[in-house]
Amino acid sequence: MSHVYNSEEFDPPAPCLEVVVGHPTDAVRTRRMVAQFDTGADISAIPESLVTELDLVFAGDLLVLGYDSVPARVPMYYLGVELADVRLSPVKFIAADRSNVLIGRDVLQHFVLTLDGKAATFELKDP
């Protein structure tokens, strides 16, 4: 199934898809959110506000190197994530100051992601 890049929030348009994130063990406590795919990110991230909304608890911490190359130690959470009709759980996430979910290569490695920049479309499927 082909998806259209998100051109409303990103310039140039970016591959985004609606995903469901939530508790690794409680299928009720979930949120449907827009996720941006980032093949440059080693790990995935959720908006910081979700920590409170879903009452998440930390499961450790990670040393994360951001764009400024300054390493920061941040709490890590395990969540379930559902995208392209596939549910993965538990998946490591960090919380970040952002409004959408960021899906890094730790999740993308489970899929075949085909980007067509010219047509601003992409396909994501579980082989």
Partner 1 sequence: MPHTVQLKEPRAPYNVTIDTASVEAEPLILKHGEEPVLAVVSYREYREFADWRERRQAKSARGEVLERERRAFQQMLPKLLVTHRDQFVALKDGQLIDSDSDESKLVMRLYQGLGYVPLYIAPVRETERVYRIPGPRVAR
Cβ proximity to partner 1, 10 vs 32, nearer residue? 10
Cβ proximity to partner 1, 2 vs 117, nearer residue? 117
Amino acid residing at 33: M
Residues 107 and 91: their CA atoms lie apart, in Å, by: 8
32 is a contact residue toward partner 1 (CB under 8 A): no
CB 58 within 8 A of CB 27: no
Amino acid residing at 8: E
127 preceded by cis ω (within 30°)?
Answer: no
Cβ proximity to partner 1, 30 vs 89, nearer residue? 89
In the complex, the smallest distance separating the C-beta of residue 107 from partner 1, rounded to whole angstroms, is 13
Rounded to 5, what percent of the chain is helix, strand, coil? 5, 50, 40
Structure tokens at 47: 């908006």
25 is a contact residue toward partner 1 (CB under 8 A): yes
Backbone angles phi, psi at 40, to 5 degrees: -90, -5
41 is a contact residue toward partner 1 (CB under 8 A): yes
Of 91-99, 107-115, 116-124, which part binds partner 1 (CB under 8 A)? 91-99
43 is a contact residue toward partner 1 (CB under 8 A): yes
Residues that bind partner 1 (CB under 8 A): 11, 23-26, 38, 40-43, 45, 52, 57-68, 71, 73, 75, 78, 89-90, 94, 96, 98, 102, 104
